[in-house]
Structure 1
């Protein structure tokens, strides 16, 4: 069974994936068993579909007590683009593109807020990882104020793949991290560049930090040592805007 944005039930989700539906994320009941669930797991892994285990109460809420059988899928309201389509399409028309990479950002509302700011600051495309990233769902659409429909979003298997591809295309990569002495205001944003923001709890993955071109941090003067990721992202994007004016 399904509505506009969700599919309920194991068999329905398997059939949707096999039919090529743009499945954004699948929520599975913790400790769910059975042959059909095993078949769903194989299908999810084979097709590299993002999934997570949740309590049955969350599934009941998502499905409004429809017969979910321990599985609810979220259908993306947008069509994702490939890395090649995104980068090559932008480079054909722009000399100094601005990309945004989100390294396993997990909160849909933070994601939506970032998309909204990205659209307002002229970001040419957003890159996320298939596994571990926030879903593009109703919360994302709402908090983005509809901006999610106006900016290309690309899903990649691994963030490192995106970094290498961008570097190979002449795009510099800079990560927002506290693990540096470099200040955001020391970075040249007036060139082809991709800004990398990390997850809410862990920041940018250490393996990603090893391969990017530059690191930068925001100056902090308060007793709290970090900003909300959407706020920090806004500060980085508007420094890029300031330099490009």
Structure 2
């Protein structure tokens, strides 16, 4: 299902969006605003586990497209999120070993869009992103994915490490991309797999990395020390494809 409205402004509009069951990725509220309607909106947001940011009026004015935000602006997801179970089901329906991409702290919508596009082409069954410190399914992500967002389920989870643990119990094992790892060609990437990619600046977080079974390194010969996150994901995804075909 496609949502046409991405930025929702004004108290009634935001409240209606929650009541209509729209997925709100983030809510911006005027700092210090404590009146009844705003309290009702923040209560609703907490119920749906929406990230709430209390910001100054200047910030809201900056974000506003209408100039009539009344102290609240919501970012609705451009597309609905899937459940992790939907991703496993997609693999089962194709009679394939699950291949899932997990993203740690990817905040650039162009990167996420490119990752969705490449993951779909590489035969991944879905993508898992965390709720915090990560971009959601925005309109920019949808555009950059070049339509792949319509075919590849994206799930959003509260805790990436806990999700990895749960998926391990279902037979998946995990490899993360990191410069300190073993050369990717020497890592066995066959079978049910989760590929973990971190942000360009920080890479995969320590807690998530500790949950991974293998750490794979992409060979690099340049003077700069990292690849764009979507390119790194593409390189490793196609090594998984190569090993699955061999």
Query: What TM-score does the superposition give when structure 1 sets the normalisation length?
Result: 0.87
The answer to whether the 8 A contact 1:28-1:71 is kept is yes
Please report how far the alpha carbon of residue 153 of structure 1 lies from its aligned counterpart in structure 2 after TM superposition: 0.8
- Determine if contact 1:171/1:194 at 8 Å carries over to the other structure: yes
In structure 2, the residue matched to 1:169 is: 170
Query: Alpha-carbon deviations, 1:154-213, whole Å to 9, x = none?
Result: 111110122012111101111112233x11112222211010111233221111111121
Q: Number of residue pairs matched?
A: 242
Residue by residue, what CA displacement relative to the aligned partner does 1:135-169 show, whole Å, maximum 9, x if unpaired? 21111111111111110111111101220121111
Encode CA deviations 1:13-67: one digit per residue, 9 max, x unaligned. 23422432122333445x4533344443343233211344667566446542341
Is 1:32–1:70's contact at 8 Å kept on the other side of the alignment?
no
Structure 2 gaps of 5+ residues are none
User: 2:202 maps to which residue?
Assistant: 202
CA distance in 2, matches of 1:198, 1:51: 24
- Please give the residue correspondences for 1:1-245 in structure 2 after superposition, counting only pairs within 5 Å: 4-28=5-29, 31=31, 33-35=33-35, 36-52=37-53, 59-60=60-61, 62-180=63-181, 182-245=182-245
Asked if the contact 1:106–1:200 (Cα under 8 Å) also holds between the matched residues in 2, the reply is no
State the alpha-carbon separation in 2 of the partners of residues 196 and 135 from structure 1: 17
Find the aligned partners of 1:184 and 1:22 in 2 and give their Cα distance.
37
Unpaired stretches in structure 1, ≥5 consecutive residues: none
SS at match of 1:170: coil
Change (3 A) 1:60 1:83: same
